[in-house]
Structure 1
Amino acid sequence: MKSFSLLSFLFVVCLKSWGQEKPVRIPFQLTPANNISVRVLINRIDTLQLMFHTASGGLTLTEDATRNVRSLQFARTDTVKSWGGEGNASRYSPNNTLQLGDLTYEQVSIWENKYSGPGTDGKFGLDFFAGRVVEINFDEKVLVIHQHLPKAMRGYEKLPLKVQQDMLYLEGGLVIGTDTLRHSFLMHSGYAGSLLLDDAWVAQHAQIQHLPVISGQELKDSYGNRLKTKKSSLSAFLLGKAKLQQVPVSFFEGAIGRQKISVLGGDVLKRFNWIIDVTGGYVYVKPNRLQKAPFSTT
């Protein structure tokens, strides 16, 4: 998982609406892997599907995608850190143009990696909307970029949002028997699952360690590093006043310390509509029509 400072990632936004009050609407598709897929245009030539990733920054394309992109020119190869390891080689292309809905960005840098969400050619981060309020509406399948908090917010619950190194964290509650364990979770739209727990926190709570294991899974990060997880099931998961029943929860197999952050993934995120106000320090959530959809069993 690659992190970029919102201030150091430089590009120019060319859009008349950016100076106006009217929100910008960007349609998306919700993929079978619970990812948000947005159609974009690179250098006014190449049409691609990119995953909107709330826990990453900048713009990356997969190796498969770059083979078919006519307009891209790479300048050098960098070494970057990802979720599963360090020392990953990544080709770098400067000075590109990105069209994202009605938004046009100039001087965009693009990095290359191996993988993205299934059915997507790469990903882009929340930093493209720095200083704005970002609405993710799964009912209408649209991102709405606001200058300010929208006035019509009926049914939304206001929750504190913690920002660390440009990453967004929310508090949730794991219900195990008669216990409710409160913990901080990274908002991670690139993770297809529901919840992924950090090693140190799991080690501190015997209730979690004693949950029956129902399956195992091997994950790959953007650079192909393999990560093995075990999956259990919670009685419920609490997000604000909302309560989700029988929620799958995963944790890493092997050495303590590999997974240092607990993750709130796409299989939970899609059950709410979101209004993210990073500047104000809050997120607003509203249960949507996917609230009671079956959780993924993979």
Structure 2
Amino acid sequence: MKYLLFFTICLWIEAGFAQSKLPVIKATSKGVSINDGGYLDKNSWTLSPKIRPDVFTAERSRKAKWVTFYTDIDSIRVKVKPGTRFNFVVLLNGKDSCYTQIASAIPPENKSQNNIATHDTIPFTLTAYDAICVKTVINNTDTLNLDFDTGSWDFRLTRDAILKKTKLLANQPDALAGKAKPNYNNLNKVFKLQMGKSVWTNPEIVATGLTAYEMDGRFGWNLFESKTLEINYDQSLLIIHSKPLKIPKGYVRSKLEIIRSFVIAKGSFEIEHKKYSGSFLFDTGSEQAVVVDSTWVSQQNFPRNLKLLKSSVLHDPRGVGYETKIVLVPALKINGFELTNIPTLILGSKNPVGFMINYLGDDVLKRFNMILDFKNDYLYLKTNKLTNLKYRESS
């Protein structure tokens, strides 16, 4: 989702480029910095004259915001609203036209489907490492186990799974024979991906080096944008509703935030009658219970005398290690529900996502059946049969 390149050339987009006079900015270097809604990422985009258009998908927001492209000598500032696209040209070195589009992560509303309500069900298995494992079939032939990871986006397959379990490298016989290094940027096309009865046509597939333990890859929450998603741990089902639904009794609602395309909700610790409130990124791809940000710990004057369970090293999706310690926290409240004696991992260094945020992993999240309304951005929680299970790191 973040700075993804979409290689499918849409005819109506091409027509738009051909028929209207587009804004032009100049550049003498391929590196571009982007300020997306106040978050500046330096040299995060590479100009490419060969991709027409080269699509930058802005971080997901239901509010209008400004996105600015900075080349080494010029810039353009665009107001992005849900469902909008803006086309322009970057003229590289005075000769190469780089056709570029800034798109909202929220697609335009499909009015033809406004009165059609659908409900798709995807069965899953909760593994011993708390991965939401979904059997996935690619191109009607290759079967993989993918983790549903609310801390991720789109489809990610591990390089090992691509090499050993799919035909996506059939166009590279030397790589399959071990005579050459596989080029994971040149995979055979995925024309169909199926999970349960849900089908994705021509999905973008990205290779990754890391995912949940024993999984072949992962898929993210944004695949259900503007829909309502149920995660039912009691029945081991993901249920996708095309429209918001009537919420069953027992669920408690709170507002859901999307910050830098991460799903985030409010929560608080309670220690010795004092409350420590913060924002928590929902991360079903993590087997941890809770992870707290080192900067947040410092700003909140979070207690330093909590019982130490162990010290460890946590790896991010890039494989970078971060020294951590796990302490026992007396109480955690989410949506009014209270969990007690929570093993909580305190990061010992800078947060890998680049901004201050805490995390709820699946060792906590699995204790709730969840409804995620990505149309109106609401979270609904209800305790389930896993609520009183022992935590992985509690001993």
TM bucket normalised to smaller: 0.7 to 0.9
String of CA shifts for 1:29-86, please: whole Å, max 9, x gaps: 11111111100011111000000011111111112211213321499xxxxxxxxxxx
The equivalent of 2:259 in structure 1 is 164
Gaps of 5+ in 2: 5-56, 61-102, 108-112, 172-182
Tell whether 2:101 aligns with 1:32: no
> Which range moves more in the overlay, 240-249 or 110-119?
110-119
The equivalent of 1:117 in structure 2 is 212
Tell whether 2:264 aligns with 1:264: no
Q: Is the 8 A contact 2:289 2:362 kept in 1?
A: yes
| Number of residue equivalences | 280
Tell whether 2:236 aligns with 1:236: no
Cα deviation for residue 205 of structure 1 reads: 2.8
Tell whether 2:207 aligns with 1:98: no
Q: Is the 8 A contact 2:126 2:132 kept in 1?
A: yes
The equivalent of 1:84 in structure 2 is none
Q: Is the 8 A contact 1:43 1:71 kept in 2?
A: no
Tell whether 2:372 aligns with 1:276: yes
1:283 and 1:257, CA in 2 relative to 1: closer, same or farther beyond 3 A? Answer: closer
Tell whether 2:216 aligns with 1:126: no
Residue type at the aligned position of 1:25? T
1 CA distance for matches of 2:264 and 2:131?
19
Q: Describe the SS at the equivalent of 2:203.
A: strand
Instruction: Indicate the structure with greater strand content.
Output: 1
1 CA distance for matches of 2:199 and 2:114?
11
1:142 and 1:293, CA in 2 relative to 1: closer, same or farther beyond 3 A? Answer: same
164, 177, 180: which one aligns with 2:275:
180
Tell me the TM-score normalised to structure 1 length. Answer: 0.85
Q: Is the 8 A contact 1:9 1:58 kept in 2?
A: no
Q: Is the 8 A contact 1:94 1:108 kept in 2?
A: no
2 CA distance for matches of 1:289 and 1:42?
33
Q: Is the 8 A contact 1:202 1:209 kept in 2?
A: no
2 CA distance for matches of 1:165 and 1:276?
17
String of CA shifts for 1:165-186, please: whole Å, max 9, x gaps: 2211111110111111111100
Tell whether 2:292 aligns with 1:197: yes
Q: Describe the SS at the equivalent of 1:251.
A: strand
Equivalent residues in 2 for 1:38-77, closer than 5 Å: 38-73=134-169
Q: Is the 8 A contact 2:162 2:169 kept in 1?
A: no
String of CA shifts for 1:185-238, please: whole Å, max 9, x gaps: 001111111111111111123333332322012222233222221000111100
When the two chains are superposed, the root-mean-square deviation of aligned CA atoms in Å is: 2.8
Q: Describe the SS at the equivalent of 1:268.
A: helix
1:207 and 1:70, CA in 2 relative to 1: closer, same or farther beyond 3 A? Answer: closer
Residue type at the aligned position of 2:184? R
Q: Describe the SS at the equivalent of 1:204.
A: helix
The equivalent of 2:303 in structure 1 is 208
The equivalent of 1:225 in structure 2 is 320
Cα deviation for residue 18 of structure 1 reads: 11
1:24 and 1:18, CA in 2 relative to 1: closer, same or farther beyond 3 A? Answer: farther
The equivalent of 1:79 in structure 2 is none
Residue type at the aligned position of 1:101? G
1:67 and 1:294, CA in 2 relative to 1: closer, same or farther beyond 3 A? Answer: same
Q: Is the 8 A contact 2:316 2:352 kept in 1?
A: no
Tell whether 2:236 aligns with 1:141: yes
1 CA distance for matches of 2:170 and 2:230?
33
Tell me the TM-score normalised to structure 2 length. Answer: 0.65
2 CA distance for matches of 1:3 and 1:186?
20
Residue type at the aligned position of 1:60? R
Equivalent residues in 2 for 1:76-95, closer than 5 Å: 91-92=184-185, 93=187, 95=189
> Which range moves more in the overlay, 94-103 or 183-192?
94-103
> Which range moves more in the overlay, 258-267 or 189-198?
258-267
Q: Describe the SS at the equivalent of 1:108.
A: coil
